[in-house]
Chains A and B, each alone.
Chain A
Amino acid sequence: QVTLKESGPSLVKPTQTLTLTCTVSGFSLTTGGVGVGWIRQPPGKALEWLALIYWDDDKRYSPSLSSRLTISKDSSKDRVVLTMTNVAPLDTGTYYCARTLDSIVGGAWMYSVPPLGPYFDYWGQGALVTVSS
């Protein structure tokens, strides 16, 4: 059974660094094709993709937030960590981690040739983070 669970502080002060951890089970972070991403959702607003790390440690970041984000993983502990520097009240919201899974078709990763783009098949329950002094 695939599960993901977010953990981290519920309250962070402006200008501080936010660190969130996603602990996964039911799959390995080193399996070819696996990616774990972070998505956030401000209260009452839309989903926003933040970052993703692949099984081979390749990393992707939202262009608008890349200067503030770092994603990493500890495969031995089944954890993916997201850090966000210099937080502000606008960063308040629910932070989700979610898995993507690619597969090899015809000798190539399926989602690396058009049409592109894997989807997030399993999501965590989310962690609410409030940025306030």
Chain B
Amino acid sequence: NFILTQPHSMSESPGKTVTISCTRSSGDIASSYVHWYQQRPGSSPTTLIYDDNQRPYGVPDRFSGSIDSSSNSASLTISGLKTEDEADYYCLSYDSDSFWVFGGGTKLSVL
């Protein structure tokens, strides 16, 4: 079993770039895909990135995902920040014992 650790909160200005990390506590980050969700207040999560670095149709290319085996972590990068990007962001991955693990979530403020 592993846990996914995300920074609790981050803050950045409009137009800037922010990178949210998701660090896997044990096991190889590359052994399972990492997916990212955005959740605005009062709404259901929506998929931003799936399969480490793929964007669903309709998600702007300002959003990108990557994994780094050296730090055993995944990252979500948002460039050209907009005030509408203010939300909670969650990473998700899969344990080989057949269950899913969410990260603790990152609250992003854009101000």
Q: What is A's interface to B at a CB cutoff of 8 Å?
A: 37, 39, 46-49, 52, 60-63, 96, 111, 114-121, 123-126
Contacts and interface: CB of A to CB of B under 8 A. Distances in A.
Interface string B54-73: 00100000000000000000
Contact of A119 (B31, B47, B97, B104): B47
B38 to A, nearest CB: 12
Contacts of B30: 114-115
A126 B46 CA distance: 13
Contact of B100 (A37, A114, A121, A125): A37
B1 to A, nearest CB: 7
B32 A119 contact: no
Interface residues of B, number: 30
Given A46-B105, A47-B45, A125-B44, A117 B100 contact: yes
Contacts of B50: 119, 121
Counting chain B CB atoms within 10 Å of each CB, the highest count among A37, A46, A49, A61 belongs to A46
B93 interface: yes
